[in-house]
Amino acid sequence: MTDDTNKPCSDNQHGEGERDYYFENGLLVFTAHYHLKRGYCCRSGCRHCPYGYEKENNTRLQKRKIY
């Protein structure tokens, strides 16, 4: 079995020379090239967002300390 961690996807090149996504630690990560090609910000706080959107921290989703 091969390790796909941080492995680029070769099937998404479409002859443009830029990747749309890659896998990192088992997660699908879209590139800034993909976001620009899509043409708008999805407001999901994506790692490579070229539109400058930063997702606000939602304290309800954070684990609370139990004393």
Kindly give the pairing relationship between strand 21-24 and strand 27-30: antiparallel
- pTM here is 0.54
Residue 67 vs residue 46, higher pLDDT:
46
- pLDDT at residue 56, rounded to an integer: 76
At 7-46, the pLDDT tens digits run 554 444 444 568 899 999 998 899 999 999 999 998 888 8
Domain boundaries, the chain: 10-61
Question: Above 90 in pLDDT, residue 63?
Answer: no
- pLDDT at residue 1, rounded to an integer: 46
What average pLDDT does the segment 44-54 reach? 88
Q: Detail the DSSP E strand segments found in 1-67.
A: 21-24, 27-30
